[in-house]
Chains A and B, each alone.
Chain A
């Protein structure tokens, strides 16, 4: 049965989804019909984010043309091989209304939550990856996996809301161990069977979960949300365990490598050039083996302090302190860091596209949002914030476009993503960020 996806969404919006929800959702998951026919296994659609701080150099990245076959630009050179699988979205803005412009925070939080945050470094709502993970993560071992390429365990752009962020893996070995260390069973092995230990762990965990009612008596109204988050976390571990009792269906042609060694991890660009490809490959493997369906990769913090050895100015300092070169019309040193940030993004795209899966690649069955915090870091501007959508989300997103946002709110991208990932909403964001207009040009 072939069904038009937009028809499905319309059905959901009009409230008629309930009676047909289950078969419809099945169709969603199986929308890559060829793969299903060939293997008998369904390929889930994955979601990911790539965050880098301090934006791009408009003079070097922004193509003149919009639509398909737009002109190549120097700052996006690393992405050129994947141009047909990526959308570039320019010209959108975060509209703060009455909230302040928290530097290196407001812009990225606006993109990931649809809300310009009221407080510094606190999310007003859960980030979009968590919304999507709640919808598509059932059956995967981890609801989401976070990775901080810089090695800083404070760098995470994923949150269930509030001041807590989901802690990232900060080294290739750490990421490997999380994904493929204890608790992992290689689904490609013929002798796969559920680990009986998991059943024991489940019964122990239920004792902890049963503490909930008693615990609520000990906490005041102010702390209720924190205890709720704790027990949500307990429940998610229960779901992880339930998933471990099912053999993951793996279509991708991958093998689990042995553990990477300890690597130096820090914010030096040459070090990142060694670390990011390894992290990216592990992320791709984690997705391909259905250990998780949602990943969040951050290069460094919003006020990015990635640096080039020998140059005393890290990225963020350079954005503020380097004058605009009168002849060039932009900041030369700063622009290099923006270019590096795109090279690192390209490494992630490559890692996903290198994994063959069904009739396409892992990238084809994914949707990857790349975003930053500002349009022009020197002045912390919130307009013209560049974003990318890589991958076609199993055919639900058309790719290869340059979309000019015309000063519309960045929340349109979040709305587009959620609709593409099958979340039945017709508007997203708050205040001036509230939008009902997805980027319809790229919705397949």
Chain B
């Protein structure tokens, strides 16, 4: 099949025969360009958008893994394990049961079968093509639809229940690789270049902006070829960016970039930190995401303000950690820390401070390594395998009461120094915050020194660190690199900066506004560029 065959329905009313309304559209030969596994939030958001938020999604998702600082980049290397598929398959059936049950069918099934006790291929075809298009992010092929309509018919017949057939055939769409993976295809562009085809573009835009499957309007724009034009892309990008759902999309990006999922694997020693509860972990993530969205979208501030802002949002749990009175009516209150608090930017929020600590104490090295990676795109190499760290922890040594003194021992060892000189200053300047993010000024009876030096810049404490990072051009450059990598699904370490050069320039020129960066990235031709396909024995791809 060397032409793309799509089923295009002029309207649902034309679906009388269910399968006969196929119209062939000639298109350039698409080539495989990428395969991305849906993330948990992409899956959840897709289901909620397609079937409504009332559909419960119960089940377990396989863990992602961080590549170049982003989980999103692992979606292009991970697959589905047997246990993972087992879970997807159960989730699919569970969702399908809810969609066709008596409570929801009037709302969600777009037609009434001739008899609820018999097959009706026209109604089944209408239902499956409508949801298939949304789930597959493109229209179903003739084969894909026919196999499902046949299944629905056979099961309806054997069970004397039209909806029983519908349930299982919908389940096959939800377990299908085309739903669970985003298949990106490319078509020849100018010269030797390839560029994503219009449905792949629709998905890339939608998952970046809204963290969900393309909506009907975006799919329409793809079907009509609008997304293959600069003006068409621009129009859709503006529409996506004007929606409040942009916050959902950017929350997902920042949750990934700030590595907030680390919380799922941290425990605090409650003997040392009595205030720690699992609820605190949720609150801390929410605080940071609220702050980030407020700065970057709601008030459209310079993104570098994330490093310095003292404005935040607190609930009761967090107020207790920060020792701030909670006096709001609702669950959350906005709050501005006084300058004297030492709180500056997201770096000094409980989320970042607690995630990158040990269960029972702070870790300047963990904090330093994480912050270098997250905000400066400078990952720290692994320490050499055969290092003796004993001295770092010998608290009985009278000269080494604080972590700083113990860590400084590394500086005398050349092998250690090369990396520790890199990561520790950032962490040491945050030592006024314990493993939970509460303030402290002493450790083991000694005042904590929070001075630090990076390169030839000396600073002190969180405030000094905040202004160092605020003025460091690597911070916005790193954010642009991560956002581009997140959008295209590549390791941020492998990205060619030329791919987002123009977008970055407008970002800088426009005063570091996230919206400028997003718009610049999403409307650039590089955002959709694809490698020319390698000649393989496999046949040309087609849809």
Is the A/B pair a real complex?
Answer: yes
The reply to whether B80 and A203 form a contact with Cβ atoms under 8 Å apart is no
The total number of A-B Cβ pairs within 8 Å is 214
Contacts A314-B358, A379-B388; is A217 near B65 (CB within 8 Å)?
A: no
Say yes or no for A71: interface residue by CB 8 A criterion: no
Say yes or no for B390: interface residue by CB 8 A criterion: yes
Q: Name which residue of chain A comes closest to B158, CB basis.
A: A200
Say yes or no for B60: interface residue by CB 8 A criterion: yes
Contacts A214-B141, A218-B185; is A153 near B63 (CB within 8 Å)?
A: yes
A147 to chain B, nearest CB (A): 11
Say yes or no for A72: interface residue by CB 8 A criterion: no
Contacts A200-B155, A237-B82, A380-B386; is A167 near B172 (CB within 8 Å)?
A: no
Query: How distant is the Cα of A101 from the Cα of B386 in the complex, in angstroms?
Result: 10
Query: How distant is the Cα of A378 from the Cα of B82 in the complex, in angstroms?
Result: 36
B539 to chain A, nearest CB (A): 6
The reply to whether B272 and A310 form a contact with Cβ atoms under 8 Å apart is yes
The reply to whether A312 and B82 form a contact with Cβ atoms under 8 Å apart is no
Say yes or no for B534: interface residue by CB 8 A criterion: yes
Say yes or no for A35: interface residue by CB 8 A criterion: no
The reply to whether A219 and B151 form a contact with Cβ atoms under 8 Å apart is no
Contacts A203-B155, A321-B390, A379-B386; is A166 near B81 (CB within 8 Å)?
A: yes
The reply to whether B393 and A323 form a contact with Cβ atoms under 8 Å apart is yes
Considering only residues 71-107 of chain A, those with a C-beta below 8 Å from chain B are 101-103
The reply to whether B32 and A220 form a contact with Cβ atoms under 8 Å apart is yes
Q: What is the total number of residues of chain A having a CB less than 8 Å from a CB of chain B?
A: 71
Say yes or no for B232: interface residue by CB 8 A criterion: no
Contacts A215-B178, A217-B542; is A205 near B151 (CB within 8 Å)?
A: no
Say yes or no for B270: interface residue by CB 8 A criterion: yes
Contacts A208-B175, A217-B539, A380-B386; is A267 near B264 (CB within 8 Å)?
A: no
Question: Out of A210, A230, A233, A305, which one reaches B181, CB within 8 Å?
Answer: A230
Which chain B positions have C-beta within 8 A of A225?
A: 79
Contacts A163-B77, A174-B60, A208-B172; is A313 near B360 (CB within 8 Å)?
A: yes
The reply to whether B393 and A322 form a contact with Cβ atoms under 8 Å apart is yes
Say yes or no for A223: interface residue by CB 8 A criterion: yes
Say yes or no for A311: interface residue by CB 8 A criterion: yes
Say yes or no for A198: interface residue by CB 8 A criterion: no
Which chain A positions have C-beta within 8 A of B533?
A: 220
Say yes or no for A221: interface residue by CB 8 A criterion: yes
Which chain B positions have C-beta within 8 A of A208?
A: 172, 175-177
Of the listed stretches B84-92, B467-475, B492-500, chain A binds B84-92
Say yes or no for A343: interface residue by CB 8 A criterion: no
Question: Out of B74, B144, B538, which one reaches A221, CB within 8 Å?
Answer: B538
Which chain B positions have C-beta within 8 A of A1?
A: none
The reply to whether A227 and B177 form a contact with Cβ atoms under 8 Å apart is yes
Say yes or no for B392: interface residue by CB 8 A criterion: yes
The reply to whether B534 and A220 form a contact with Cβ atoms under 8 Å apart is yes
**A304-340 interface mask toward B, CB cutoff 8 Å, 1 = contact, 0 = none?**
0101011111100100111110000000000000000
The reply to whether A220 and B82 form a contact with Cβ atoms under 8 Å apart is no
Which chain B positions have C-beta within 8 A of A219?
A: 32, 35, 183
Question: Out of B35, B62, B178, which one reaches A226, CB within 8 Å?
Answer: B35
The reply to whether B147 and A204 form a contact with Cβ atoms under 8 Å apart is no
Beyond A153-B62, A230-B180, A237-B89: 5 further Cβ-contacts under 8 Å?
Answer: A146-B83, A164-B84, A221-B536, A223-B34, A233-B84
A-B contact pairs, 18 of them (CB 8 A): A120-B382, A153-B62, A160-B82, A163-B65, A164-B84, A167-B87, A204-B169, A207-B169, A210-B147, A211-B177, A220-B536, A225-B79, A227-B177, A231-B177, A267-B359, A309-B271, A312-B359, A313-B393
